[in-house]
Structure 1
Amino acid sequence: MATILVVDDELGIRGLLSEILSDEGHTVELAENAAEARAARERIRPDLVLLDIWMPDVDGITLLKEWSGAGLLTMPVVMMSGHGTIDTAVEATKHGAMAFLEKPITLQKLLRAVDQGLTRNAPKPPAPPVVASWSRVEGGYAAVGLPASTPHAVTLGGHAMHHGFNGPAPEQLFQLDRPLREARDAFEKSYFEFHLAKENGSMTRVAEKTGLERTHLYRKLKQLGVDIARNKRGI
């Protein structure tokens, strides 16, 4: 749950919003003017602010501009007003407000705005690098993607070949966070070694399976550094 600062000069509005948000499990702090709002923002660092536009000392738009100009708009702000206009809403959005609620505020609109603000402000973990591995499927093996714990958790090394359903499967993960040519060569080497082992080193059958002419296939295997003799022995 979140800490939400409610800034409104009307006691009844502060009480109602506090009751609703507390029932939703949030911690609610209240301020009735800009001075109290400044102090509360510094003291509690709220996750979201509900800020009234029309207040007796400093209005909400002015306070929003102040926070924005000082680099203090580190939380989503939802503006509230019973006398707002489209121009007011546009100005508030221009200065960093994420939403504008017109009073009287319905429960549904309030909770939706709060949920959207908290979701937008939630930190997003960095996406893990994606690597590919071999997975058994009907008719053979296919490369599938899965996340790695770190960019260097998976490296390209030798192949451990074993025989099983529909032939051997290379027990290797492919790191994709590398130059395209290196990644492509690593995949092609594994691909041809797989087919050579599966066909017991028969170049004729591998040529048929891969759709390459034998001469082209020989050149490709040599270029990739594939040990043809090793695969003919079925190792």
Structure 2
Amino acid sequence: MPNILIADDDDDMVEICSRLLPRRGHTVKVAQNAADAVSMAESLRPDLILMDMRMPVSSTGDVSDRAGLDAVLAIKAKPELVSIPIIALTGHMMTMFRAAILDAGCVDMLAKPIENFMHLTEAIELALKKSKPQ
């Protein structure tokens, strides 16, 4: 049963994923800020991370457009976490943001708000399949 860490402060997104993903055989944990996402990635070693790019930096609630990207960079800088696939969730689908997100180590990027959750589950399954040793 794959473990998925959802790093997102959007209550609706978290609620939908928390209901949908267990039906697909996944366990779900939630981080509501970037600092918790990095900490939980270290302690839980999830099979996959869904990372919102714009969220609070820490529990202080200060929101940053770079918080998710900085969390991805922090996670990918740790050798023991580098192989965890991360799917970026963002409202900014411009080419320059896409390049920065993929260069940081994300395996995919999906636009928010997510209107078709089938695309999300397909992206998750593909990323998990690609991350498994052959």
For Structure 1 versus Structure 2, the TM-score category normalised by the shorter chain is 0.7 to 0.9
2:124 to 114, 122, 125: 114
What is the letter of the counterpart of residue 111 of structure 2? E
Structure ranking higher on relative contact order (CA contacts 8 Å, 6+ apart): 2
d(CA) in 1 for partners of 2:31 and 2:48? 13
Unaligned runs of 5+ in 2: 58-63
The structure 1 segments of at least 4 consecutive aligned residues displaced by more than 4 Å after TM superposition are none
d(CA) in 2 for partners of 1:70 and 1:25? 28
**In percent, how many aligned pairs have the same letter?**
31
* Structure 2 residue 54 is matched with structure 1 residue 45: no
Bigger radius of gyration: 1
- Indicate the residue corresponding to 1:80 in structure 2: 89
The TM-score, its normalising length taken from structure 1, stands at 0.50
SS in 1 for 2:55: coil
Tell me by how many angstroms 1:80 deviates.
Answer: 0.1
Alignment of 1:29-108 (within 5 A): 29-57=29-57, 59-71=67-79, 72-105=81-114, 106-108=116-118
Alignment of 1:1-235 (within 5 A): 1-57=1-57, 59-71=67-79, 72-105=81-114, 106-124=116-134
d(CA) in 2 for partners of 1:62 and 1:38? 10
d(CA) in 1 for partners of 2:84 and 2:71? 14
SS in 1 for 2:28: strand
Is residue 4–residue 46 contact of structure 2 (8 Å, CA) maintained in 1?
yes
d(CA) in 2 for partners of 1:3 and 1:56? 23
Cα deviation code 1:134-180 (max 9, x no counterpart): xxxxxxxxxxxxxxxxxxxxxxxxxxxxxxxxxxxxxxxxxxxxxxx
Tell me by how many angstroms 1:82 deviates.
Answer: 1.9
Is residue 38–residue 74 contact of structure 2 (8 Å, CA) maintained in 1?
no
d(CA) in 1 for partners of 2:119 and 2:38? 26
The TM-score, its normalising length taken from structure 2, stands at 0.86
What is the letter of the counterpart of residue 123 of structure 2? A
